[in-house]
Chains A and B, each alone.
Chain A
């Protein structure tokens, strides 16, 4: 690390940042807590109690976010590994290739999935044409307006967030460690299990966090791909703040946001715990 340079006046450098954060981050957060525990002007727990009626929605949000995160991990690890072992020319552009689709507006991309998946969409039409060649009838798969479509939308939108941290962790692994393991007689699978995988855990952890949080709190993906059947926690919050379904209630909306924040806090806490454990069992810091 070396010595830290003291440049300029600490207080002057930090003043704009501190005041901005207090006014536009801390006070708003305090307001969320205040609204969650009040009703008009007096303290109440009724907002939080009211959320109990939405327990199925909360559970569904957690479930779908969990499934999407698991699928992302399974899909991302191999591709991150392949990219980390690819030629230098591909590696130089790996991040760009993975990130590029995200440069297109996500609403338009999510709509494009509708085009692909819906009953008269591209995939079903192609399958129907194929079935026609063999002289059989095909009704088409129901691939949209269901939970599967919501999960697909999450996986599609957040997969790069899983690939990139794992890829970064894999490229940071010192090649001499792998060579050492080989020299000491480890086979390919052993090297993967004993050396590469443990050293990539920090990447996995940040990937999981970066996919789980937006999946848990999304509100547009479910609305476009899930039809109007399956509301998620994000949709509820939107409704209570913007009154799209006729009721504006900041107090219940704030209570829901508080619950969402607590769920995410618990999730990140667990992930950090895993991270520390992994670092100690892998024998040192990376």
Chain B
């Protein structure tokens, strides 16, 4: 039974990682084929780093991800605190409203915002979709995830500490910053990170809500896949994957270190 379990787990991870393996290996191909490996070379990395379109859209992706994550975290954290204070039907109404963009298919969220933007922009003939519409769209789909990651922390919060601070004469705003924020901070940070990554990775919503002037990386990748496939995309994906892997491992190593500090 144990061996069977191990074989099964192995096969599932082969399935999950096979494409990753193919992408990484072929990023080093000296030929230009996706399927025939001709020899080792770094040419696709070099070409990728010289591709202005890729670099520019990577930059745009980062700008949108950082801005939308920060704005969504502020709005979402405030909303979570507000929702946590509510009771009864009001609370469930707000929670259901918050869930609409989560439950709705991405493509529906995307086209619904697209209709709104087209509608509004048609009044201002000169404007077209771009940075603004993209940022708004990303903030919109990020907010619910921030709310959902902050709420459990608020529920698990010991309200006595906050009340104690008030009893001891601490003004509410100061008590909020000094007592509440530190307690919900893990939720706020994980919401921020989730919003950042969702935004960085988003294709569907950006696809319908970005103009030709301001394209994020996934959009550029999509338009590149329509032309004859270039292994530059493999090189790009491999670098991004490596960066994320390093960040993840660093995060995992840092955690135990922090715990040790706390124990001291």
A binds B: yes
Q: Is B229 part of the binding interface, using a Cβ–Cβ cutoff of 8 Å?
A: yes
Q: Is B107 part of the binding interface, using a Cβ–Cβ cutoff of 8 Å?
A: yes
Q: Is A111 part of the binding interface, using a Cβ–Cβ cutoff of 8 Å?
A: yes
From residue A80, how far is it (CB to closest CB) to chain B in Å? 10
Interface size bucket, B side?
Answer: 35 or more
The answer to whether A116 touches B19, judged by C-beta atoms less than 8 angstroms apart, is yes
Q: Is A13 part of the binding interface, using a Cβ–Cβ cutoff of 8 Å?
A: yes
A to B CB contacts below 8 Å, 30 in the list: A2-B159, A5-B154, A5-B180, A7-B84, A14-B78, A16-B74, A20-B140, A21-B100, A24-B140, A25-B97, A28-B109, A28-B116, A35-B115, A75-B12, A82-B5, A101-B20, A103-B201, A103-B240, A103-B245, A104-B20, A105-B217, A106-B201, A108-B234, A109-B23, A110-B19, A111-B34, A112-B20, A122-B22, A234-B107, A260-B105
The answer to whether B82 touches A10, judged by C-beta atoms less than 8 angstroms apart, is yes
The answer to whether A107 touches B222, judged by C-beta atoms less than 8 angstroms apart, is yes
Known: A4-B87, A104-B240. 14 other contacts (CB 8 A): A5-B85, A13-B79, A14-B83, A16-B74, A25-B100, A78-B8, A92-B252, A108-B234, A116-B19, A213-B105, A214-B106, A217-B107, A242-B208, A261-B104
The answer to whether B112 touches A107, judged by C-beta atoms less than 8 angstroms apart, is no
The answer to whether B81 touches A268, judged by C-beta atoms less than 8 angstroms apart, is no
Tell me the nearest residue of chain B to A237, going by C-beta: B107
The answer to whether A29 touches B240, judged by C-beta atoms less than 8 angstroms apart, is no
Q: Which residues on B sit within 8 Å (CB–CB) of A1?
A: 155
The answer to whether A79 touches B107, judged by C-beta atoms less than 8 angstroms apart, is no
Q: Which residues on A sit within 8 Å (CB–CB) of B55?
A: none
Residue interface mask B237-255, A partner, CB < 8 A = 1: 1001100110010001000
Residue from B81, B143, B218 in contact with A7 in the complex, judged by beta carbons closer than 8 Å:
B81
Q: Which residues on A sit within 8 Å (CB–CB) of B154?
A: 5
Interface 9-residue window, one of A127-135, A191-199, A250-258: A250-258
The answer to whether A109 touches B162, judged by C-beta atoms less than 8 angstroms apart, is no
In the complex where A5-B159, A14-B79, A260-B108 touch, is A104 in contact with B8 (Cβ < 8 A)?
A: no
On B, residues with C-beta under 8 Å from A are 5, 8-9, 12-13, 15-20, 22-23, 26, 34-35, 74-76, 78-79, 81-87, 94, 97-98, 100-101, 103-109, 111-116, 118-119, 136-137, 139-140, 143, 147, 154-155, 157-160, 162-163, 172-173, 176, 180, 197, 201, 203-204, 208, 217-218, 221-222, 225, 229, 233-234, 237, 240-241, 244-245, 248, 252
From residue A76, how far is it (CB to closest CB) to chain B in Å? 9
Q: Is A64 part of the binding interface, using a Cβ–Cβ cutoff of 8 Å?
A: no
Residue interface mask A70-91, B partner, CB < 8 A = 1: 0000010011001100000000
From residue A117, how far is it (CB to closest CB) to chain B in Å? 10
Complex: A284 Cα to B88 Cα, angstroms: 22
In the complex where A79-B12, A121-B35 touch, is A4 in contact with B84 (Cβ < 8 A)?
A: yes
From residue A142, how far is it (CB to closest CB) to chain B in Å? 16
Tell me the nearest residue of chain B to A5, going by C-beta: B159
Q: Which residues on B sit within 8 Å (CB–CB) of A75?
A: 12
B interface majority secondary structure: helix
Q: Is A201 part of the binding interface, using a Cβ–Cβ cutoff of 8 Å?
A: no
The answer to whether B157 touches A214, judged by C-beta atoms less than 8 angstroms apart, is no
From residue A94, how far is it (CB to closest CB) to chain B in Å? 11
Q: Is A93 part of the binding interface, using a Cβ–Cβ cutoff of 8 Å?
A: yes
In the complex where A5-B159, A111-B34 touch, is A96 in contact with B105 (Cβ < 8 A)?
A: no
Residue from A83, A98, A118, A253 in contact with B111 in the complex, judged by beta carbons closer than 8 Å:
A253
From residue B205, how far is it (CB to closest CB) to chain A in Å? 11
Q: Is A125 part of the binding interface, using a Cβ–Cβ cutoff of 8 Å?
A: yes
Residue from A7, A96, A125, A253 in contact with B252 in the complex, judged by beta carbons closer than 8 Å:
A96
Q: Is A39 part of the binding interface, using a Cβ–Cβ cutoff of 8 Å?
A: no
In the complex where A14-B94, A24-B116 touch, is A105 in contact with B78 (Cβ < 8 A)?
A: no
The answer to whether B108 touches A213, judged by C-beta atoms less than 8 angstroms apart, is no
In the complex where A105-B218, A260-B105 touch, is A122 in contact with B23 (Cβ < 8 A)?
A: no
Residue from B23, B82, B113 in contact with A14 in the complex, judged by beta carbons closer than 8 Å:
B82
The answer to whether B105 touches A216, judged by C-beta atoms less than 8 angstroms apart, is yes
Complex: A92 Cα to B222 Cα, angstroms: 35
The answer to whether A220 touches B203, judged by C-beta atoms less than 8 angstroms apart, is yes
Complex: A248 Cα to B23 Cα, angstroms: 36
Interface-central residue, B105, B113, B240, by most chain A CB under 10 Å: B105
Residue from B105, B116, B229, B237 in contact with A31 in the complex, judged by beta carbons closer than 8 Å:
B116
Q: Which residues on B sit within 8 Å (CB–CB) of A4?
A: 84-85, 87, 159
Q: Which residues on A sit within 8 Å (CB–CB) of B82?
A: 10-11, 13-14, 17
From residue B86, how far is it (CB to closest CB) to chain A in Å? 7
